[in-house]
Amino acid sequence: MTSDYILQDLRKLVRKRASNRCEYCLMNQDFSIYTHEIDHIIAVKHGGETTADNLALSCLSCNRHKGSDFATIDQVTKEIVPLFNPRRQVWDEHFYIENAKIEGKTQIGQATAKLLRFNLPNRVLERQILMSQGQYP
């Protein structure tokens, strides 16, 4: 979540680096009714720092579903799986888009897509509309 203690210059850097797109679902700020937030990839309560290397731009939906999580439990294997880290990993290596759904290529991608609820019907519909207009991703 956006915190008041993140300096304005750092906020600008995060937004610019992300090209004003959510670094999890790729939704552009221009098409979101809510302002994208600065997310601590590893939450402060888990020892994460307020540095450029630990911050990502996140849409409201992704940020609310992620919360302070940085991992989840795979329902099949029962293993702890880390979530996608936009500072350390490449989006295209973990996800692909098919029929406006964001699907995971890897266990990390699958876990992140599920936890962040990328494919809720309203989110898929929004992407379908934007894709038909050439506005997504």
pLDDT tens-digit profile, the chain (137 residues): 444 589 999 999 999 999 999 999 999 999 999 999 999 999 999 999 999 999 999 999 999 999 999 999 998 899 999 999 999 999 999 999 999 999 999 999 999 999 999 999 999 999 999 999 999 99
Looking at the domain assignment, is residue 3 inside a domain? no
Domain total of the chain: 1
| Spatial contact of 88 and 52, defined as CB atoms under 8 Å apart | no
Which one, of 42, 17, 25, lies nearest residue 112 by Cα? Answer: 25
Looking at the domain assignment, is residue 89 inside a domain? yes
Q: Show the domain range for 17.
A: 8-132
Looking at the domain assignment, is residue 137 inside a domain? no
In one letter, which amino acid is 26?
Answer: L
pTM here is 0.94
Looking at the domain assignment, is residue 33 inside a domain? yes
End-to-end CA distance of the chain: 23
| Spatial contact of 72 and 65, defined as CB atoms under 8 Å apart | no
